[in-house]
A and B are shown apart, each in its own frame.
Chain A
Amino acid sequence: AQSVTQLGSHVSVSEGALVLLRCNYSSSVPPYLFWYVQYPNQGLQLLLKYTTGATLVKGINGFEAEFKKSETSFHLTKPSAHMSDAAEYFCAVEETSGSRLTFGEGTQLTVNP
């Protein structure tokens, strides 16, 4: 069975600082990995995804994530936080073809001026 763990339910950074949101997964087969962002009272927007190929994935809004198979991790980073990045971030894994997504519990990112 697949699972996703997001370390830290709340992360607070200063504007301009590095953003690092952690995600570890377990999967019995090569997974597809996703990061979604959710703004208050809205749906989920895809930030980036890893399927196959290059392990460093670039997404929207300056975010990127690196798939590390040996560490079963897919941490999300952004070099410089912006106030508009304040939102909840979800890591998700899709294990098999056309199957469900398994989500982590989410990390609420706060950006302080």
Chain B
Amino acid sequence: NAGVMQNPRHLVRRRGQEARLRCSPMKGHSHVYWYRQLPEEGLKFMVYLQKENIIDESGMPKERFSAEFPKEGPSILRIQQVVRGDSAAYFCASSPPGQGRSEQFFGPGTRLTVL
């Protein structure tokens, strides 16, 4: 059973470009979480999605950031018009469906560098 997959692992963008980060959850998992780790800091929650639904986006910046988790395909975190402050490691985690609390399994992360 493959783990959580993220691609690309490293992404370099110039200021003003768009960044698209992809996350494929573990097989059978329908919950996806995105976290951001700024240099020398811990992980901060961004958004929680289930298939075709955003459940909690209270950690998302108000502008330029969006996320989706379509019925088919990976979850996408999109950052428009990137700025240097967006440089960070972005981690995706997934968990299985169900009402109870479940462990979140983390992907290897995408390290975004904005020049």
Q: Which A residues are closer than 8 A to B by beta carbons? A: 32, 34, 36, 41-46, 49, 51, 90, 92, 94, 96-106
From A100, A104, A106, B45 is in contact (CB under 8 Å) with A100
Chain B residues positioned under 8 Å from A105 (CB to CB)? 41-42
- A103 partner residues in chain B, CB cutoff 8 A: 35, 42-44
Smallest CB-CB separation from B109: which chain A residue?
A43
Inter-chain pairs besides A98-B95, A103-B42, 5 sampled, C-beta below 8 Å: A34-B103, A42-B109, A43-B91, A96-B101, A97-B99
Assuming the A-B contacts A105-B41, A106-B42, are A97 and B101 also in contact, with contact meaning beta carbons closer than 8 angstroms in the complex?
A: yes
Q: How large, as a class, is the contact surface on chain B?
A: 20 to 34
When the two chains form their complex, are residues B42 and A90 in contact, meaning their CB atoms are under 8 A apart?
Answer: yes
Which residues on B sit within 8 Å (CB–CB) of A100?
33, 45, 48, 56, 59
Question: CA–CA, A100 to B105, complex, Å?
Answer: 12
Contact with A along B95-115 (1 / 0, CB 8 A): 100011111111111010000
Tell me, rounded to whole Å, the shortest Cβ–Cβ distance linking B46 to chain A: 9
Interface residues of chain B, those whose CB is within 8 Å of chain A, are 4, 31, 33, 35, 41-45, 48, 55-56, 59, 91, 93, 95, 99-109, 111
List 9 contacting pairs A-B, 8 Å CB cutoff, sorted by A.
Answer: A34-B103, A45-B106, A90-B43, A97-B99, A101-B43, A101-B45, A103-B35, A103-B43, A106-B41
Cβ–Cβ < 8 Å partners of B101 in chain A: 32, 51, 94, 96-98
Distance in angstroms between the alpha carbons of A98 and B96 in the assembled complex: 10
- Which residues of the partner chain A approach B103 to less than 8 Å between Cβ atoms? 34, 46, 49
A42 nearest CB neighbor, chain B only: B108
CB contacts (< 8 Å) of A51 on chain B: these are 101
Cα–Cα distance between A14 and B93 once the two chains are bound (Å)? 33
B59 contact set on A, CB distance < 8 A:
100
Q: Which residue of A lies closest to B91 (CB)?
A: A43
